[in-house]
Chains A and B, each alone.
Chain A
Amino acid sequence: MAGFPTADRMLAVCDMLADSGGHLDPEAVAAAAAEQLARLTRCDLAVTALRGPDGLVVGSYPRAAPDWLPGAMVNLYQDGLTQPFDLFGPAVDSRVAGFDGGSHHGVVAAIGPIEGGFSALDDWLVMVAARRMQAQLELVELHRWRLADADVVRDAVLAGEVQQALMAEPHHRIGSVDLSASFRPARHLGGDLYDVFSVDRQAVALVADVSGKGAPAALLSTAVHAAGRHAFSVAGPNPARIIAQISAEIETLLEHTGRIVTVAVAATDPNTGTIRIASAGHSPVIVRQAGHVRLIKPLSPPLGLCSPDEDEIELSVHRGDLLLLGSDGLIDQRRHDGTAYGVDHLLSAVRELPVAPAHELLRSLFGNLDAFAAGAVQDDDQTGLLISVQEDRR
């Protein structure tokens, strides 16, 4: 009986349905679909044509389609004309089905003559061929996205290495203090930065945090970094003047990018046994004096709103005292249950630190933070710069 599927045809259909494809490009998808359609319908010529980001892609089996045909098929389908004889005329028996979705749209055609004429099964096979092409093209697109994504990640990793190299040396002994710093971005690149300068046995430490995350914040942080170095060369070991100078230099940039920057600068003086601190909206700044810890709140708001007042505070420090300039990523780190580390936790951790070189103390602080996080995702950049007073003033 014409159109009744034979057992071997049904088996061939089952094989087609079980085949998952695994093609890596639209050309392979189109070619495989045409061959499968031709074999299953036993039509004279199967043609698949699709249009997408790569332009017009064509498959045909068992021979090449006439040059004009695939483009005409897609154009007619786009115009809503899907009756086969629109393309081939009434003398040619054929079945056509199309698809439109995602980044591709296309048409498949089984062109006769065909022994016994096209049956209901053939109608179904043509429709299924179109749907399967659509699904396989989505997979090809997904595969391309994954490759592009891998490129982006590789770029970010390399950029992150450059950012670490841009930071100052992490460990210093200057005058009567020991300094150690660490920058841990959340995603390869970040908006935190630290810097260390010195003149006449006086150390100047700077920590800054650009709002936002990732590459945009990192790019802006390089401008802040350069402004900080210039500010030190102009203003010397004077924290409030350094911040005012930075503010003037990056004011327009912040206006254009809609971002803010928090900055804290500390200058140590072994002759007076003091540390002067200025902060524009920056926290946490934590001092430990004679075993007592407190948070030093900023005297001015972040840069990006208005020019900062040139205010500083001056602390007397002795051997064993500590100053931590951190970024808010230290406080905001959450553990799995959603609880944040918080200011109080950080204050306790600083209070409990022994008298030791700065790099050991900083490692201990980060260890405490990581133990709290217990593997939870680091959502923000984390920076710490620790100043450990090693000697009383002479």
Chain B
Amino acid sequence: MEVTTQYGPGFIVTDLTGRFDAHTVGRYLTDVAEKVDGSHATVVVDLSGVEFMDSSALAALITTLKRAMEHGGDVILAGVSDAARIILELTRLDEVFTRAESREAALAQLKGATV
């Protein structure tokens, strides 16, 4: 899975492409989840390129959400692909995460967002 990350004032935007699963979750945790702190408390995760997600990916997103909340931030799932949507619904996590139509819509939700 490809993980590309950009930083903005108070937030991180990350694009994930490929399979987000037990084999690829390590990279996500290092590059994204562990980067959440007081200066970057909110994470926009662009899932439009994700073709598969498993429970390891969900655990990683939940870890990110918990860290974000500790710093007063949030996690926004943007461009949720069909594969991602199905697993989020099957686990009832669709009602837990804030969602946005697209990365641009997510960034617009964040005040003064410019990347």
Query: Known interface pairs A213-B22, A258-B63. Does A300 touch B55 (Cβ–Cβ under 8 Å)?
Result: no
Per-position 1/0 for B86-105, Cβ under 8 A of A: 11011111011000000000
Tell me the total A-B contact number using a CB cutoff of 8 A: 67
Neighbour of B55 across the interface among A211, A258, A280, CB < 8 A: A211
B17 in contact (CB, < 8 A): no
Query: Known interface pairs A212-B22, A213-B22. Does A302 touch B58 (Cβ–Cβ under 8 Å)?
Result: yes
**B-chain residues with CB within 8 Å of residue A212 when the two chains form the complex:** 22, 55-56, 59
Neighbour of B90 across the interface among A211, A258, A260, A284, CB < 8 A: A284
Q: Are B92 and A300 in contact (CB under 8 A)?
A: yes
CB distance from B69 to the nearest CB of A (A): 10
Per-position 1/0 for B64-90, Cβ under 8 A of A: 011000000000000000000011011
The A interface is mostly helix, strand or loop, or mixed, namely loop
User: What total of chain B residues lie within 8 Å of the partner, measured CB to CB?
Assistant: 22
Complex: how many Å from CA A328 to CA B63?
21
Neighbour of B62 across the interface among A210, A260, A283, CB < 8 A: A260
Q: Are B96 and A297 in contact (CB under 8 A)?
A: no
Residue of B nearest to A210 (CB): B55
**A-chain residues with CB within 8 Å of residue B65 when the two chains form the complex:** 305
Q: Are A262 and B59 in contact (CB under 8 A)?
A: no
Residue of A nearest to B25 (CB): A212
Q: Are B59 and A301 in contact (CB under 8 A)?
A: no
**A-chain residues with CB within 8 Å of residue B60 when the two chains form the complex:** 258
**A-chain residues with CB within 8 Å of residue B63 when the two chains form the complex:** 258
**A-chain residues with CB within 8 Å of residue B52 when the two chains form the complex:** 332
Q: Are A283 and B66 in contact (CB under 8 A)?
A: no
Interface-centre pick from A210, A280, A298 (highest chain B CB count, 10 A): A298
Q: Are B22 and A259 in contact (CB under 8 A)?
A: no
A209 in contact (CB, < 8 A): yes
Q: Are A211 and B92 in contact (CB under 8 A)?
A: no
Q: Are B92 and A297 in contact (CB under 8 A)?
A: yes
Per-position 1/0 for A295-307, Cβ under 8 A of B: 0011111101100
Q: Which residues of B, 2-45, contact A by the 8 Å Cβ criterion?
A: 22, 29
Complex: how many Å from CA A90 to CA B65?
71
Q: Which residues of A, 298-344, contact B by the 8 Å Cβ criterion?
A: 298-302, 304-305, 328, 331-332, 343
**A-chain residues with CB within 8 Å of residue B96 when the two chains form the complex:** 301, 305
Residue of B nearest to A342 (CB): B86
Q: Which residues of A, 342-362, contact B by the 8 Å Cβ criterion?
A: 343
Q: Are A328 and B92 in contact (CB under 8 A)?
A: no
**B-chain residues with CB within 8 Å of residue A211 when the two chains form the complex:** 54-56, 58-59
A380 in contact (CB, < 8 A): yes
Q: Are B55 and A328 in contact (CB under 8 A)?
A: yes
Complex: how many Å from CA A260 to CA B92?
13
Per-position 1/0 for A136-162, Cβ under 8 A of B: 000000000000000000000000000
Q: Are A297 and B93 in contact (CB under 8 A)?
A: no
Q: Are A332 and B59 in contact (CB under 8 A)?
A: no
**B-chain residues with CB within 8 Å of residue A301 when the two chains form the complex:** 91-93, 95-96
List 12 interface pairs A-B (beta carbons < 8 Å), by A numbering: A260-B58, A280-B92, A281-B92, A281-B93, A283-B90, A297-B89, A299-B92, A302-B58, A302-B91, A302-B93, A331-B90, A332-B54
Give 7 closest A-B pairs by Cβ, nearest first: A211-B55, A283-B90, A281-B91, A211-B59, A298-B92, A260-B59, A301-B92
Apart from A260-B58, A282-B91, list 12 A-B contacts with CB within 8 A. A209-B55, A258-B60, A258-B63, A262-B55, A281-B91, A283-B91, A301-B95, A301-B96, A302-B55, A302-B93, A331-B90, A343-B90
Residues of B within 8 A of A (CB): 22, 29, 52, 54-56, 58-60, 62-63, 65-66, 86-87, 89-93, 95-96
